[in-house]
Structure 1
């Protein structure tokens, strides 16, 4: 592509009061309102009146800014340009929204958690967010990530397990083979917080949310997590809440003893579709073997608290030449084991291993959020940043729903937030008024016009009238 005109022949002026840069906010906020986001926030948030007046409208404004690409308080000025005041009421100044967030306390964040949970349940009734086929499980993935921060005035920021100064965000997602992940729950914690802290509480909350979504699956959901969450609190809560677990285990003596009991002919070779890079040696490995053995987790606890299941083990050739002088159990292989309560008849050894490795899908959600609202945690107040995380999750689930409504069988149904924002939300428009009606004139030959039209039509449909 080349520039068509001489530089002197082109000029720029910011003088049109009828233009907007994000016309897609119209159907997006209609969607948010149709699932009751503003009413839920208004009725449930008890932020002090002097700063918390019109809480529903302020929550909607913050979510709208995130939908349009805001990753800081100052970016909320995206809502105050051109004809935005003709489309939306109460386009608050960034300073007003920042003051609102700083009034949050821990209890208010938990109230906002409840708003996010109920909004997701309502979104699930508006669109099939989690589509399950016969006998399919819903996968619930749990993991935390460090959100890097800069400066020394961020409450709770410290150096965590990653060696990066930041705050710790714990997320739980739900997905199926035919549905992209949605976020069931979230919690912001201090940067130095250990991964399992508070995990049992969030597991109970998100599984309750999943039940309220009424997905229609007759199979127990499966909680997947890494070894940081292998503990009786997390595993026991998941089982009591009606879920199975698939959790990586640490190589403690009990696990090593169980692995050593596997006969050599019990290993089954599996081929990876692509080679994987060995982090310890930097070399590529293209195949591995798996086996399993019955296992009782938490054997040191009371009998009633022990959990019976199976230990599934994957082994790969140990290519690390730096061996210890004394012989060990694992001279030729490195072993990766996880504990699962799934039934072998319905999920064999190879299937269980493949299913467990798919837990990495939650890393894509982490990256998605960090490429948007979580690029920064904008406040020095910890509870304000906690509320910011919850609002970012609401915005994420809204974009996931919009992508599904607009293009259920196509690319947008599983697209990232950035793609949905680029194709459906940040669409420029010129406003025209006639006979008390506003018409948005959008770009001709917009490549995603059909998807935008489907979203716009679905969110502007007249309410259903009951004949009973």
Structure 2
């Protein structure tokens, strides 16, 4: 691509007060308001009055900045250009929003968690965030990640398990085979925090939010996690809340971590003819036999987890084991008489009749989907943790999750069944949010003049129409309650 008229000089002047670069914030903030974000934040946050005045508006401003691509406090200036002041009310200065976040304490963070979960439940009623087919499960994934930080003024920052100096973010997501993940719970922790610390609380909050989304009483969630979360607290909490589990067990004899003796004994009882070849990376399908030619095999054996605990606290299930040849065995001086394998096992409470050995292994490997969520967040608001105050960064994480879930709902509304329904946040921002527009005003009406031939015009129109639809008529009970409220305000007898 090049200039149509190369000899013509081009100049740039920032002088148009009627232009905005993120017209897609109009339907996005409408969607946030319909989900009750501003009202929930205003009623539930008890941030001190001098800094927490109009908490709902400040939360909306922070989420709007994240939707537009802000990954720091200074980036909130993105909301204060051109015609944004004519289009939106209370476009706060970055310094005001930064002061608001620094007033947060631990209790305020928990209040914001409640706002995030209730906003998600309300979004689920506006868009089918978790579409469930007959007999399908909702997959709940829990995992943590290290968010790298720089400088020595970050409270709680330290070197974690990855060897990177940062803070630890624990995230829980829910997804199905046809629905992209949404985030149900989150928690920011010190960088040196062990992965399982506080996981039981996150699992309880996640499954409670999932129940409020009203997916049906027959839907039994499946909690997937890696070996760091193989503990009675996490697994027991999930089972008590009505979920099944699929959690990795440290069973790889080639790593430095010692194998659990009970797991080692269980693997040793698997007969050689009990192993079944599975589809694995670089596997080849034999057209004659219909079998996969691969070095990966899978088998299972009944297993009781936590046998050292009281009988009531033991968990019955099955141990599914995947083995692959160890291409770098410890005996390197001479070849071994028998093949040596690396074993990777996970414990699951799912029923073998409904989920066989191969299906259970394939389902468990799908846990890697949460890594994509971590990458999505780090490519957006979590590219930086903007404050030196730990509780401010904790609130920033919750707000980033709210923005993430809003983009999931917007993609579904704009392009249900299409590419945007499962697109990343960056794609939603590029196609539906970062749309330039020129403002024109008539009597009591603002018109957004958008670019001609915008490639995603149909999706934008669908989102804009859905978020600007008139509100549904009130239910009879709501109508009576509003009448009673009006009588009380006017002093009339009830």
Aligned residue runs from structure 1 range 203-282, under 5 A: 203-216=203-216, 218-251=218-251, 252-272=260-280, 274=282
In 1, Cα distance between the equivalents of 2:382 and 2:427?
A: 17
Q: Which residue of 1 aligns with 2:366?
A: 358
Tell me the residue number matched to 1:322: 330
Whether the aligned pair in 2 keeps the contact of 1:134 and 1:217 (CA below 8 Å) is no
Kindly indicate whether the alpha-carbon contact (under 8 Å) linking 1:73 and 1:94 is maintained by their aligned counterparts in 2.
yes
CA distance in 2, matches of 1:169, 1:69: 20
Aligned to 1:184: 184
CA distance in 2, matches of 1:346, 1:385: 43
Following superposition, the deviation at residue 287 of structure 1 comes to: 3.9
Cα distance in 1 for residues equivalent to 2:435 and 2:48 = 36
Higher mean displacement: 232-241 or 328-337: 328-337
TM-score, normalised to structure 1, is 0.96
Alignment correspondent of 2:395: 387
1:454 aligns with: 462
DSSP-derived class of the 2:180 partner:
strand
Cα shift readout 1:394-420 (whole Å, capped 9, x = no counterpart): 000000000000000100000000000
- Map of 1:419-458 to 2, 5 A cutoff? 419-458=427-466
Distance 2:273 2:338 in 1: 17
Alignment of 1:29-40 (within 5 A): 29-40=29-40
Which residues in structure 2 correspond to 1:76-91 (within 5 Å)? 76-91=76-91
Instruction: Determine the C-alpha separation between the residues in 2 that align with 1:291 and 1:3.
Output: 63
Query: Does the CA-based 8 Å contact 2:299-2:357 persist in structure 1?
Result: yes
Shift, 1:9, TM fit: 1.3
Equivalent-residue separation in structure 1 for 2:346 and 2:381 (angstroms): 33
Unaligned runs of 5+ residues in structure 2 are 252-259, 285-292, 477-494
C-alpha deviations, 1:417-441, integer Å up to 9, x for none?
0000000000000000012210000
Distance 1:297 1:361, change over 3 A: same
- Alignment CA distance shift 1:211-1:134 (3 Å): same
Deviation at 1:465, TM superposition (A): 1.1
* Residue deviations 1:85-112 (CA, integer Å, cap 9, x gap): 0110000000000000000000000000
Unaligned runs of 5+ in 1: 277-284
Aligned-residue offset at 1:328: 11
Cα displacement (A) at 1:272: 2.1
C-alpha separation in 1, matches of 2:468 and 2:58: 22
CA gap 1:328/1:294 in 2 versus in 1, 3 angstroms: farther
Q: Distance in 2 between matches of 1:160 and 1:467?
A: 52
Whole-Å separation in 1 of the counterparts to 2:199 and 2:34: 32
Larger radius of gyration: 2
CA shift digits 1:301-357 (9 cap, x unpaired): 111111010000000111114337899999511100000000000000000000000
Match of 1:409 among 392, 397, 417: 417
- Alignment coverage as a number of residue pairs: 460
TM-score of the two chains, using structure 2 as the length reference: 0.91
**Cα pair distance change 1:264/1:427, threshold 3 Å:** same
Structure 1 Cα separation of the partners of residues 24 and 467 of structure 2: 11
CA-based RMSD: 1.8
CA separation in 2, counterparts of 1:142 and 1:177? 17
| Offset from partner CA, 1:114-173 (integer Å, 9 cap, x none) | 000000000000110000011110000000000000000000000000000000000000
Say whether the 8 Å CA contact 1:63–1:395 is kept in structure 2: yes
Shift of 1:444: 0.2
| 2:53 alignment counterpart | 53
Report if the CA contact (8 A) 1:104-1:384 is conserved. yes
Between the aligned partners of 2:319 and 2:39, the Cα distance in structure 1 is 47
For 2:89 and 2:410, how far apart are their aligned partners in 1?
A: 22
Q: CA deviation at 1:2?
A: 1.6
Preserved contact between residue 170 and residue 189 of structure 2 (Cα < 8 Å): yes
Deviates more, 1:143-152 or 1:215-224: 215-224
SS at match of 2:447: strand
Correspondent of 1:298 among 303, 306, 330: 306
